[in-house]
Amino acid sequence: MGSIMKFAQGMDWWGLITLLISAVAALLCITLHELSHGLMAYKLGDPTAKNAGRLTLNPIKHLDFIGLVMMVVAKVGWARPVPVDMRYFKNPKRGMALTALAGPAANFLTALAAAGIASLIWRFAPVNQGTLLALCLLSNLALLGVGMGLFNLIPISPLDGSKIFFSFLPDKTYYTILRYERYVMGVLILLVFFGVLDKPLSFLILHGLEALCTVTGIPLNVLLVCQDVSVILSLF
């Protein structure tokens, strides 16, 4: 019993809570991202995602373990792609581009909503552990929403940005790229793992957060500090 108590006393509980909050925020961003893909495809006439059970808020249906880990650790990541059959679209290339754009758009809207609510809590809510935990969750949602949205707009297959960018290419080139895009995923994972994209993404994410702060009125330093519960607690 004594050893268990010592172990419990030595645990960084606030650090663990911060990690769990970050994981919850990542799951929410991933779920909304993929659900938006599926809903847009369904609206454009493709029932594939619906038939596969992917029009759901159940995060397990959309989870890619490596992508989730990268979201928590590197603040950028991906989910298990929603199945889309472009043959259902009246205009296949346009349909794919709109379906691809829906995911990042959902992430940016999530980040905007999170920053807006965080701003209201920061200005008007009483300071207690509940509001501080809410600020941590909302700040993580804002950061991860911007990070996932920008990362997926990179025009490298199979990210969403490639579907948008490639839609402007001639049909023959477009369909050739789609045929081989699955092999590019390994290269993309290596680029993320070795930090090749860190500097440009960090630059873009920072400016994205600054834009959110300008719109919502929450100070950027508050949004950044609130990523970690233990840091927030040290301020009060």
So which residues are the catalytic ones?
A: 34
Could you tell me the CA-to-CA distances from 209 to 80, 117, 123, 218 in Å, in that order?
26, 14, 18, 10
CA distance 116 to 127: 18
Question: For the chain, how are helix, strand and coil distributed in percent, rounded to 5?
Answer: 75, 0, 25
**Residues, the chain:** 236
How many helices (DSSP H) and strands (DSSP E) are in the chain? 12, 0
Block residue for tokens 């829906």: 102
CA angle centred on 107, ends 106 and 111, rounded to 5°: 115
Q: Is the omega angle on the peptide bond into residue 158 within 30 degrees of 0, that is, cis?
A: yes
The gap between the terminal CA atoms of the chain, to the nearest Å, is 33
